[in-house]
Amino acid sequence: MGRALAGLVAAALVHSAIAGAAGGKPAGDPGTYVHPLKKFTLRVPVGARVIERGKKFDVVIQSPSGYVINVQTGAVNAEVSLMGMTARLEATYLGDGKRWSRKLEEGSTTVGGLSARAVLYEGAGMRTRVVVARGRETDFVFIFIAPAGAFDGLVAVFDRVLASFRPAAAEVAAKPGPPQRAAPARPPVAPGAAVRPPLAAARHFADPAFGFSIDYPRQWIVAKPSAHTVTFSGRQGTEAFYAVVSIQNVEPPSASDSGQATAAVVSDLKSQWAAGATDVGYFGEGPITYENNGLRLQGHQFLVAYTEGGQRFKQWTVVVARPAGTVVHVWSYAAPDGLFPVFRPVAEAMRKTWVIHTR
């Protein structure tokens, strides 16, 4: 996919991708988008519009906020690694006199259960995050472009799009097996079924860049779908694969203090559900006190039940602003309705080990 990928990124970087997506056609109202050929799904941000281009239905998500997201696909080229794919891009676009003047960060990650590589570039007053992911049949390219000065305030939108991405089952399953996480046909375990004791033989996650640490079950997988999000879930083929604990760092651009930041994040989350799900109901909403390692902070929590892709889900969310500034930590646990009470003890045990570090 080397030459094809370079062409895809070129198309993403030209002005038409930001200003008009010439030659494309609207793909419907924002919400949960389903690709007509590859059958992957993702959640479209509130206020954005989706345009499909070309015979492969490349996806352009445009927002009046000033960013653009491209999602493009091509047949797997096993001869070129994910790192090789980004290296070919850099040979064309990175360097003196080229579109990208420097590379800011790079690392491995996962997107929708697929192995991926994420790279952040800067140049010509813009920042571009490129994420390449590989399924069994398809190479996926996610591109986020925003003005450099507004990038940090807007990139959380891209993080949520990546977190919502679910490839078709054939992309992640080596053989016919359990349905994909986004919409299992029915819960693999009846409500109330026994699970392993919470955090048996736990592992410890700590990364200074995230500003917190947390313990998680030894059998679970940790992934960083972006520089601002970390997720924990069971291995594919187990019931716990459908249970996801995530923590995301968000900094609302319009907030001037921690209270405004918390309120803005809660409002934005609810807007996402309103746009992309049905039968949405909130309960157990109210203030919560975070207290750990000598730090006491006031936050907000709620439970939400919703239907997406024909499946009923529940999510428990805790929003806590850091003691200084406007960065907000969003801790959440989500699972299909029938599995939610099964793995909630694990999620609760994890939350109790969640330590926000101030230095």
Query: In the prediction, which pLDDT does 181 show?
Result: 45
225 burial class (0-12, 13-18, 19+ CB within 10 angstroms)?
buried
> What range does the domain containing 161 cover?
2-172
Residue 198 included in any domain = no
Query: In the prediction, which pLDDT does 114 show?
Result: 85
Domain boundary among 152, 172, 192: 172
| Arithmetic mean of pLDDT, 124-145 | 92
Residue 192 included in any domain = no
Residue 168 shares a structural domain with residue 281? no
Query: In the prediction, which pLDDT does 144 show?
Result: 94
Residue 196 included in any domain = no
Residue 271 included in any domain = yes
Is the Cβ–Cβ distance between 313 and 276 less than 8 Å? Answer: no
Query: In the prediction, which pLDDT does 305 show?
Result: 92
Query: In the prediction, which pLDDT does 176 show?
Result: 36
How high does pLDDT run on average in the chain? 80
Residue 138 shares a structural domain with residue 7? yes
Give the CATH number, domain containing residue 216.
3.40.1000.10
Residue 197 included in any domain = no
Number of domains in the chain: 2
Residue 132 shares a structural domain with residue 219? no
Neighbours of 242 (CB within 10 A): 29
Residue 183 included in any domain = no
Residue-wise pLDDT tens digits, 267-304:
988 887 877 678 899 999 999 999 988 889 999 999 99
- Nearest C-alpha neighbor of 314 from the set 323, 327, 325, 305: 305
| Arithmetic mean of pLDDT, 296-317 | 88
Give the whole-angstrom CA distance, residue 182 versus residue 192.
21
Residue 9 shares a structural domain with residue 144? yes
Provide the pLDDT confidence category of residue 64 given band limits of 50, 70 and 90.
Answer: confident
Both tokens of 185, joined, read: 């046909």
Residue 157 shares a structural domain with residue 209? no
Provide the pLDDT confidence category of residue 200 given band limits of 50, 70 and 90.
Answer: low
Percent with pLDDT over 90 in the chain: 30
Residue 221 shares a structural domain with residue 336? yes
Provide the pLDDT confidence category of residue 1 given band limits of 50, 70 and 90.
Answer: very low
Query: In the prediction, which pLDDT does 352 show?
Result: 93
Residue 135 shares a structural domain with residue 23? yes
Residue 289 shares a structural domain with residue 215? yes
